[in-house]
Structure 1
Amino acid sequence: MKIYVDFDDCLCETARAFTVIAERLFGKKVPYEDVRFFNLKSSFDLTDEEYEKMMIEGHLPEILLSYEETPGASEVLNAWIDQGHEVSIITGRPASSYEHSRKWLDQHGLDRARLFTLNKYGRDSFIKNSEFNLELEDYYKMKFDFAVEDSPMAFRFFDHMPDLKIMVFDRPWNRECEFPNKNYTRCPDWEYIKEKVNEK
């Protein structure tokens, strides 16, 4: 079985960290449950300049390595790998963050999971012909049986896989979105995701 897993807000608590960063940099105090938009510029009501500054801060090596693991994530992924399943972490983080993203995974016991960067949101410049950076044409040749994703903006990347089962990690910014079809299941935590995948 092949499993796609998103990084931010599936494996680690990125948005929670950004609530702290936004308050520290700009005095913007937005409780986590009020982060209603995947676009953090809108959630924190930032100018273009502020948003850019916040994203640079949030991708500094020491900040990337400080993100808290989402409870149960590494345990479930390692159980899948132990069972012989192929786990690919496909992140929308910029390719420049690969090294420290890989280090975070290794530090959290996920050294056997493959990591790829994919320009999901049109905000990265590609590193051509790398082993870890996927261009869209490469990604669309890949097939998965299950996906774990939190961002409604990423759902379009699953359109070429009509049989894919998508586990949507419940977050404030996806609670009001309509799922494209019955293949999408809202999941409150990793234990629930594990149970749903085992059922199928």
Structure 2
Amino acid sequence: MNIYVDFDDCLCETARYFSRLVAQMFGVDVPYEKIKYFNLQKSFCLPDDKYDELMIEGHTPGALLSYEETPGAVETINSWLDEGHDVKIITGRPSGVYDASRQWLDEHGLERVPLYCLNKYGRENFIKGSTFGLELEDYYKMHFDYAVEDSPLAFKFFDHLPDLKVMVFDRPWNKDCEFPGPDYKRCIDWKMIREIVG
């Protein structure tokens, strides 16, 4: 099996971190459970300048390395690798934070898994020509049987895979979204994800 796994809020608790960080930096009190939108600027009601400050602070190496693992993620992915499945972590993080992201994976026992920074959101700070930077045209040549994703904004990147089974990691910002089809299933934890893949 070929398995796509998103990084933030699937492997690690990114939004929980940002909920605490925005409170520390700007006194904005939006508990994790109240984050309504994948777009954190909208969820936290921040002007552009403060949102930029928040993103810069939250993407420093020290911050990225402090993100907590989502329970069960590492164990499940390593079990898939042991069973011979091909797993790729494909993130929308800018490629400038690749090194810290790679270090987080290695420190959490996921050194066997390749990491790609896919330009999902048209950001300008992607590093062209790197071994880990993935443009959409190259991504669309890949095949996956299963995907683990939390962001409704990323669902459109699965349209080229009509047989893909998408396991939507249950998060506050996807509670009310409509899934594109019957092959999308809400999963409350990694145990449920592991049972679906088998």
Q: Under a length normalisation based on structure 1, what TM-score does the superposition of the two structures give?
A: 0.98
Q: In the alignment, residue 182 of structure 2 is paired with which amino acid?
A: K
Where do residues 161-180 of structure 1 align in structure 2 (5 Å cutoff)?
161-180=161-180
CA distance in 2 between partners of 1:171 and 1:181 (Å): 19
CA distance in 1 between partners of 2:112 and 2:44 (Å): 35
Tell me the residue number matched to 1:10.
10
Tell me the residue number matched to 1:36.
36
Tell me the residue number matched to 2:86.
86
Partner secondary structure for residue 63 of structure 2: helix
Q: Deviations over 1:21-69 (max 9, x none)?
A: 1001100011111001000001101000111110001100000000000
Where do residues 61-80 of structure 1 align in structure 2 (5 Å cutoff)?
61-80=61-80
Tell me the residue number matched to 2:95.
95
Q: Identical aligned pairs, as a percentage?
A: 65
User: What is the aligned residue count?
Assistant: 198
Moved over 4 A (4+): none
CA distance in 1 between partners of 2:6 and 2:72 (Å): 15
Tell me the residue number matched to 1:53.
53
CA distance in 1 between partners of 2:26 and 2:157 (Å): 33
1:127 Cα deviation (Å)?
1.5
Tell me the residue number matched to 1:127.
127
1:124 Cα deviation (Å)?
3.7
CA distance in 2 between partners of 1:125 and 1:44 (Å): 23
CA distance in 1 between partners of 2:8 and 2:175 (Å): 17
Q: In the alignment, residue 196 of structure 1 is paired with which amino acid?
A: I
The answer to whether the 8 Å contact 2:96/2:126 transfers is: no
CA distance in 2 between partners of 1:53 and 1:45 (Å): 14
Unaligned 5+ segments in structure 1 are none
Unaligned 5+ segments in structure 2 are none
Q: Under a length normalisation based on structure 2, what TM-score does the superposition of the two structures give?
A: 0.99
Partner secondary structure for residue 176 of structure 1: coil
Are 1:115 and 2:130 matched, yes or no? Answer: no
Q: Deviations over 1:149-200 (max 9, x none)?
A: 00000000000000000000000000000000001000000000000111xx
Backbone CA RMSD of aligned residues? 0.6
Q: In the alignment, residue 30 of structure 2 is paired with which amino acid?
A: V
CA distance in 2 between partners of 1:170 and 1:117 (Å): 23
1:123 Cα deviation (Å)?
2.2
1:125 Cα deviation (Å)?
2.6
CA distance in 1 between partners of 2:50 and 2:119 (Å): 22
CA distance in 2 between partners of 1:163 and 1:86 (Å): 17
The answer to whether the 8 Å contact 1:19/1:32 transfers is: yes
CA distance in 2 between partners of 1:117 and 1:124 (Å): 13
CA distance in 1 between partners of 2:176 and 2:52 (Å): 27
1:139 Cα deviation (Å)?
0.4
